[in-house]
Amino acid sequence: MFPEHRPRRLRTTPAMRRLVGETTLRPRQLILPMFVAEGIDTPRPISSMPGVVQHTRDTLRKAAVDAVNAGVGGLMLFGIPKTRDAVGSGAVDPDGILNVALRDLRSELGDATVLMADTCLDEFTDHGHCGVLDADGGVDNDATLRVYAEMGLAQAEAGAHLLGPSGMMDGQVGVIRAALDRVGRTDTGILAYSAKFASAFYGPFREAVDSQLKGDRKTYQQDPGNVREALREIELDIAEGADMIMVKPALAYLDVIRAAAEASPVPVAAYNISGEYAMVEAAAANGWLDRERTILEVLTSIRRAGADMILTYWAAEAAAWLD
């Protein structure tokens, strides 16, 4: 009578497979990162990320409305200024591109989605680092925290529901939380980039934000081989007041996502980043992969690892497929 056990019985029809499916992927679990650039009249394509653009303020509004109508759970906004300086002044300027775009979207969408802002200086500095520099050219952690607090307040005032401190400065969550609470913005949440690794997969993102970086960020982003360190960072951010935590990148760090999900009492996000997007798009363009199936498999793998939500450039498109 061999075989006695026949697991294939539960795979016989689409309805059966749907009935016993273990991992769900729904539009509400997807967050769309979006770029808005100052001083452009038409959207500017990002060559290393086919299908992704730097938006104008007007095209950003339309694309954001379309994404929300598709059912995505949130939008993460990045701003690209025309001019930069050593301290990232555009990040704290109420009339800086990121803050005016946040006001645009909050006015357009209200509370229909969760509006998120990247709370980091790398897009705004002329040296491309995520913080201000000291006299020796290193990133000054504590001086940067003071700017982050001001930046977070500006983003909250502009309408962000969630702030996304991504610079990996020690104490960044606590400083931002304290600044928000001091002015009564107790409802503004923090999505902490807690485990952000010094990854080779960020390459296309550097083009997307016109990064001025020379060198690397290894003195503040984490070593790709370290998981205990990632869990320590997560624990510290939660203790400082993070409402959600994030692992970034996603695909090469599925084990870290799993460890974070098992340890974290708050929701866990994962960022399916630019290099991961570019790999699939390039292979699909060459006919080497079935694009839709691959995208959904990638996103399902991140959910299966334990992510409650996924930042992905495929968010709006995948949401339409899922519904």
What separation in angstroms does the CA of 245 have from each of 73, 195, 241, 309, 323? Answer: 16, 8, 10, 10, 27
Characterize 148-159 residue by residue with b for buried, 16 or more Cβ atoms within 10 angstroms of its Cβ, and e for exposed. Answer: bbebbbbbbebb
Considering the candidates 62, 82, 218, 248, report the single residue annotated as catalytic: 248
Q: Which tokens is 258 given? A: 């799993």
Q: Read out DSSP for 26-68?
A: -GGGEEEEEEEETT-SS-EE-TTSTT-EEEPHHHHHHHHHHHH
To the query of whether residue 214 is one of the catalytic residues in this protein, the response is no
Q: Read out DSSP for 107-166?
A: HHHTTSSEEEEEE-STTTBSS--SS-B-TTSSB-HHHHHHHHHHHHHHHHHHT-SEEEE-
Considering the candidates 62, 196, 214, 218, report the single residue annotated as catalytic: 196
Q: Which tokens is 144 given? A: 């940067």
What separation in angstroms does the CA of 299 have from each of 200, 262, 270? Answer: 20, 19, 10
Which 3 state secondary structure label does DSSP give 75? strand
Q: Which residues are catalytic?
A: 196, 248
